[in-house]
Copies of this chain bind each other. A is one copy, B any other.
Amino acid sequence: MKPLSASEAVKAIEAGTLTSERLVQACLDRIAERDPVVKAWVHLDRDLALKQARAADAAKGGVLRGVPIGVKDIIDTHDMPTGHNSPIFAGKVPFGDAACVALSRSANAVILGKTVTTEFANRHPGPTTNPHNAAHTPGGSSSGSAAAVADGHVPLAFGTQTGGSVIRPAAYCGVIGYKPTFGDFSRVGIKMQCHSVDTLGLMARTLDDIALFRGAVLALPPVPIARDGAAPRVGFCRTPIWDEAEPDTKALLERVATKLGAKDVAFAPEFKDILDDHGAITGWESLRNYADERLRNPGKISAELMAILKKSDGITFERYVAAQRKSVAFKAHVDALFDTVDVLLCPSAPGEAPKGQEFTGNPRFNSIWTLAGTPCVTLPIGTGDQGLPLGIQLVGLRHADDKLLSTAHWVLSHA
């Protein structure tokens, strides 16, 4: 049986043909069957999940009425450990819930468990495999959330993105990933890596589910996906790093762009190295944001992260400030691109999920937009040369997330 989407589950629960308890039990069964291979979950307490489900059934109501969600393990939960895939935090239970978790509970969601993250949502991988082919990475850093949603363990999950940690794993696993406009979602209770770019994001298998989940996290009534929209004006933005895309991804994007009648859109020349600015900002900030971990527990940080932090130590304050100023100009530049288009089309990742678990993939097609603060969504469209999912990334104007999601629906129906 195809697993239900969150929207379908809410409808069935409201209609009385399903209960949260049965839905959660089905998810737990699926996890029991599949997680020995997929390894998406780092913490799962079946009894606690079922207890929450029974409470949700009793409470009735709520935007997420008894639907289970997965929570990336850098996001605090008061009743489950939050380990950050680091021995520093192993087994530690936070004092409270992250705001996004609290708001989800308030919408009557069931917090099913914690999903595998790379170490501190940085590069050092966890054990999760790609559900389409266990020999490949699911991407990172929101590895477990992407794999769990893709493999039908849970209809919804939280991810976070500093470079490409929501959109890329979602694309690699063939699900929908959504990064909202910077600042819209609360980051309270989420381990901070780089305050200028860190963004909470959502994963689901349908756009309707993204819209539903988004409403819960904003503590607002969900805005349904518009289905009566006219054809959007699509800008095909190859970005300055088009050459990093693999042939199958290039071919997919060219084909979709043609089909959508997209016009070419390019950044002004002064932004051709904008990824260097993303690197300067994230490097400078993360070195300081991890001060407690690296100063008190250097022996418990992976060699991979230590090397990244060491490299960051070479970034001067002047370079950081220049990058911050450039990012302000870049945001304004990107905003202005939307004067003549409704949405930008670009790759979600260079190609399919790389082989092996060590390298979670190249985030650069995402980092551009994380710096821009724009809303982004990746849509699964077809497969690549190795039979793994490929995605296309749609980018919207800041603060026009509803429109982006509705446009994405149009694109998905016409691409």
Q: Tell me the A residues contacting B by CB distance below 8 Å.
A: 78, 88-89, 92, 95-99, 101-103, 105-106, 183, 186-189, 192, 195-196, 218-220, 285, 287-293, 295-296, 317, 321, 324-325, 328, 331, 399
Copies of the polypeptide in the assembly: 2
CA distance A102 to B321 in the complex (A): 23
- A73 to chain B minimum Cβ distance, whole angstroms, is 14
Q: Which residues of B contact A218 (CB under 8 A)?
A: 288, 317
CA distance A192 to B290 in the complex (A): 17
Contact (Cβ within 8 A) B188 A102: no
Contact (Cβ within 8 A) B103 A95: no
CA distance A301 to B386 in the complex (A): 55
CA distance A195 to B185 in the complex (A): 10
Contact of A295 among B106, B187, B188, B399 (CB under 8 A): B106
Contact (Cβ within 8 A) B106 A95: no
Contact (Cβ within 8 A) A195 B219: no
- A172 to chain B minimum Cβ distance, whole angstroms, is 29
Contact (Cβ within 8 A) A96 B293: yes
Contact (Cβ within 8 A) A103 B291: yes
Q: In chain B, what residue has the closest Cβ to A196?
A: B183
Among the interface residues A97, A195, A291, which one has the most CB atoms of the partner chain B within 10 A?
A: A291
CA distance A92 to B187 in the complex (A): 21
Given the interface pairs A186-B285, A219-B288, the reply to whether A102 lies near B295 with Cβ below 8 Å is yes
CA distance A219 to B317 in the complex (A): 10
CA distance A288 to B188 in the complex (A): 9
Contact of A183 among B105, B186, B192, B195 (CB under 8 A): B195
Given the interface pairs A95-B89, A95-B92, A183-B196, the reply to whether A102 lies near B324 with Cβ below 8 Å is no
- A309 to chain B minimum Cβ distance, whole angstroms, is 12
CA distance A399 to B321 in the complex (A): 7
Among the interface residues A92, A186, A192, A285, which one has the most CB atoms of the partner chain B within 10 A?
A: A186
- A298 to chain B minimum Cβ distance, whole angstroms, is 12
Q: Which residues of B contact A291 (CB under 8 A)?
A: 97, 99, 102-103, 106, 186, 188, 219
CA distance A102 to B294 in the complex (A): 9
Contact (Cβ within 8 A) A324 B106: no
Contact of A292 among B92, B98, B219, B317 (CB under 8 A): B98
- A293 to chain B minimum Cβ distance, whole angstroms, is 7
Complex A-B: 5 CB contacts under 8 Å = A88-B96, A99-B288, A102-B291, A219-B287, A328-B331
Contact (Cβ within 8 A) A220 B317: yes
Q: In chain B, what residue has the closest Cβ to A82?
A: B95
Q: Which residues of B contact A285 (CB under 8 A)?
A: 186
Contact of A105 among B97, B187, B295 (CB under 8 A): B295
Contact (Cβ within 8 A) B105 A188: no
Q: In chain B, what residue has the closest Cβ to A219?
A: B288
- A182 to chain B minimum Cβ distance, whole angstroms, is 10
Q: Which residues of B contact A288 (CB under 8 A)?
A: 99, 103, 186, 188, 218-219
Given the interface pairs A219-B287, A288-B103, the reply to whether A96 lies near B192 with Cβ below 8 Å is no
Q: Which residues of B contact A196 (CB under 8 A)?
A: 183
Q: In chain B, what residue has the closest Cβ to A198?
A: B195
CA distance A219 to B286 in the complex (A): 12
CA distance A192 to B219 in the complex (A): 18
CA distance A288 to B103 in the complex (A): 8
